[in-house]
Amino acid sequence: MNDFKKLRVLAAMSGGVDSAVAAARAAEAGHDVTGVHLALSANPQSFRTGARGCCTVEDSRDARRAADVIGIPFYVWDLAERFREDVIEDFVAEYAAGRTPNPCLRCNEKIKFAALLDKALALGFDAVCTGHYASVVTREDGTRELHRAADAAKDQSYVLGVLDERQLAHAMFPLGDTRTTKDEIRAEAERRGLAVAKKPDSHDICFIADGDTQRFLAERLGRAQGAIVDRTGERLGTHEGAYGFTIGQRKGLRIGRPAPDGKPRYVLDISPVDNTVTVGPAEALDVTGLTAVRPRWCGNPPAGPAAYTAQTRAHGADVPVTAELRGDELRVSFAEPVRGIAPGQAVVLYDGTRVVGSATIAATSGPAQVAAGASAKAAAGVPATSKAAVGE
């Protein structure tokens, strides 16, 4: 018996190879597909430098050409104002408060699966299709689950962990169910006659085309000289804006003298209240527990303490944890210390390959009792966010 259900699908086409192949696969599967490019920049000439950024006129044209080859209708929707408010302004405000947001999660939550999805449903579409590498599984009772992509190396479920059950019910990820390398995706695009087959992938933050986050923030927040201190409060140097540092950062501190033991120093805490950056030894970055807020569940929330694995960075490793929901807060304990987690990052819980849900890290604790970003939380009166560790 053929239980195929033809859907009206709105394919979000960025102008890149992944979204083009995803749209082509959805159309080939028999769905009624319409392509849409989201114009997210008020100045569409400014969001791409080589392989960096996106959302330019060039990207819009590439998406249109791909839709023509696939043989589907195509439109450009202007969501620049919504993107500016929900993603860019949020990004700047979080840094100003000593926290570090993940703009990709925010874009998925507020733009692709909120503004775009809501408009799609209002127009009678059944689903939004994207080129993300993740998998949606429909259970026997009709509920849907978000799972890691079949190819773990390309899995993007972490940045989709903000999607709730309603959004998952209207999400389609045609690239997530097959084990295909990126080279194979490009080869498939070439076989389909898609000119984006050899187009470089965009990377880094899409609205910072040159990759210079510190310059981007300085232009919007201004420069403000502050102190770099050690854990005793001794002044070691100065900086021109606490927002220019990340928890776990080692390079670029410009302290000028080594620690007494000769070991490198790392950023341990960032306080926007007094514009102070605290540095110290690597072991002070060890985290054994965290509290997270604003949880979003891909289905039912956990009932009581339970064992999961957790991911705290987009390309981070899975680590065993015990997690418990207490009111509106998620408490997570790590089986072994994890280095360099900071408030503001998202913690995403997994049960095997299934995404349980996500929350925003508000505070961390560890053997050295360094709660990265706690000062920011107290000053701002809201959960602190922080920055991903930077390696050697």
Catalytically annotated residues: 107, 206
Amino acid, single-letter form, for residue 76: V
CA-to-CA dists, residue 233 to 228, 255, 263, 278, angstroms: 9, 14, 18, 8
Q: Which residues contact 380 (CB under 8 A, 6 or more apart)?
A: 97, 98, 99, 272
Cβ pair 203, 51 in contact under 8 A: yes
Measured CA to CA, the distance from residue 343 to residue 384 in angstroms comes to 5
Its sign, for the CA torsion 51, 56, 60, 61, is negative
The size of the chain, in residues, is 392
**DSSP per residue, 269-286:** EEETTTTEEEEE-GGGGE
Cβ pair 344, 387 in contact under 8 A: yes
Cβ pair 341, 363 in contact under 8 A: no
Measured CA to CA, the distance from residue 261 to residue 258 in angstroms comes to 8
Neighbours of 205 (CB within 10 A): 18
Measured CA to CA, the distance from residue 168 to residue 292 in angstroms comes to 22
Angle between helices 182-191 and 17-28 (to 10 degrees): 60
Residue 225 falls in which region: left (phi positive, over 0), alpha (psi -120 to 50) or beta: beta
Measured CA to CA, the distance from residue 44 to residue 203 in angstroms comes to 17
Give ∠ CA 171-175-176 in degrees, rounded to 5: 75
